[in-house]
Amino acid sequence: MKQEMLILAGPASPRTAEHLAELTGAQLVKVEYKRFPDGESYIRLPVSVEGEEVVVVQTTYPEQDKRLVELLLMIETAKDLGAKSVTTVAPYLAYARQDRQFRDGEALSVKTVLRLIEAAGATKFVTVDIHKKESLSWLSIEGINVTAVELLSEHLKKQKLSNPVVIAPDVGAKWRAEKAAEILRGETVVLEKHRDRITGEIVTKGVEVDLRGRDVVIIDDLISTGGTIANAAKIAKKKGAGKVYVACTHALLIGAAMEKMVKAGVDEVIATDTVPSPVSVVGVAPAIAKVL
Ligand code: R5P
């Protein structure tokens, strides 16, 4: 953590940037931005960045493409204006779920997005709970993935969970559930999920476990439509679970996601502020500040 850094707050991340500046003692600069009448983005850095170690902070929740372009404009402008380094922080990295060619001919979106960030001039890249951390190997600059699992679990610890069980709604969330279970002093259950790559429909297989009298925490990297969590919650309820808490890093909460989860038996959802939402109650800046 270096005090002489300049933290450039992108239009999508004013609070995270402010929090990072408080935690690091670095100077906070609010980037000027507007949209032209045709929808194009305009960016202006209001201070000189020449010779400075700059940290650009911009999350990329919907509208993802706009946020990404704003991010790229900030990075390249900082580089063109002589910044010594341009650390790029995208707390939520859009397109990260398309990290494989699931079907022939598909775009490997995460690769394209990461390569664009590097090509614009980023000298180091930081994100939070990227869908798969292996994706960062598409970068030739340093790429760091920090996790919010500890922050989320510490927050949940304040609830008096009864004999908790932490559920991973799919195999990809196993490590996350194990880490949370360690902090919450609970057990872990891993469900098996299959997604139809054409319709997007998901099927989740339950496991033989008795959850009677036990509170459940379902943990995942992100909630989009809420289908993954709803399936897991239904299984937990069928097995007799008491209260059902949900913790995720990125609460995209598209459409009726919240209603879907509540209908499935979810009592409370908490998330970080990588994506703003009514449930984004945990700030991720402390985890990011450690790696700047
Ligand atoms: C998938 O691998 C992710 O980790 C999430 O489980 C998934 O993207 C959540 O999407 P949805 O809320 O639409 O089920």
CA distance 57 to 89: 5
Q: Which two tokens stand for residue 110?
A: 């995460």
CA distance 201 to 85: 43
Q: Flag whether pLDDT at 2 surpasses 70.
A: no
- The average pLDDT across 6-19 equals 98
With bands split at pLDDT 50, 70 and 90, how would you rate the model's confidence at 3?
A: low
Which residue puts its alpha carbon closest to atom 6 of ligand 1? 228
- Are 155 and 174 in contact, with CB atoms under 8 Å apart? no
* 6-148+284-289: CATH number: 3.40.50.2020
- The average pLDDT across 196-205 equals 87
Whether residue 263 lies in the annotated active site: no
CA distance 168 to 152: 14
With bands split at pLDDT 50, 70 and 90, how would you rate the model's confidence at 237?
A: very high
We find that the CATH architecture of domain 149-273 is 3-Layer(aba) Sandwich (3.40)
Which residue puts its alpha carbon closest to atom 9 of ligand 1? 223
Residue written as token pair 């009677």 = 212
Instruction: Answer yes or no: is the C-beta of 220 below 6 A from any ligand 1 atom.
Output: yes
CA 156 to ligand 1 center in whole angstroms: 21
- The average pLDDT across 180-208 equals 91
**Residue from 228, 253, 261 to probe ligand 1 pocket by mutation (most atoms less than 8 Å from CB):** 228
Hey, is 265 helix, strand or coil?
coil
The 10s digit of each residue's pLDDT in 147-182 is 999 999 999 999 889 999 999 999 999 999 999 999
Instruction: Answer yes or no: is the C-beta of 118 below 6 A from any ligand 1 atom.
Output: no
Q: What is the mean pLDDT of the chain?
A: 96
Which residue out of 79, 193, 239, 243 is catalytically annotated?
Answer: 193
The 10s digit of each residue's pLDDT in 257-289 is 999 999 999 999 999 999 999 999 999 999 999
CA distance 1 to 270: 28
β-pairing, 192-195 with 202-205?
Answer: antiparallel
Which residues of the chain form CATH 3.40.50.2020?
6-148+284-289, 149-273
- The whole-number pLDDT of residue 198 equals 87
CA 42 to ligand 1 center in whole angstroms: 32
Hey, is 97 helix, strand or coil?
coil
CA 195 to ligand 1 center in whole angstroms: 9
Q: Flag whether pLDDT at 98 surpasses 60.
A: yes
Q: Flag whether pLDDT at 256 surpasses 60.
A: yes
> Which ranges in 94-241 belong to alpha helices (H)?
109-120, 149-157, 174-184, 227-238
Q: Which atom of ligand 1 is nearest to the CA of 227?
A: 14
- The average pLDDT across 201-218 equals 90
For residue 111, how far is the Cα from the chain centroid? Answer: 17
CA 154 to ligand 1 center in whole angstroms: 23
How wide is the angle at C-alpha 197 spanned by C-alphas 188 and 135, nearest 5°?
65
- Are 272 and 282 in contact, with CB atoms under 8 Å apart? yes
Of 200, 212, 210, 186, the closest CA to residue 254 belongs to 200
- The average pLDDT across 244-250 equals 98
- The average pLDDT across 111-136 equals 98
Of 81, 137, 132, the closest CA to residue 114 belongs to 137
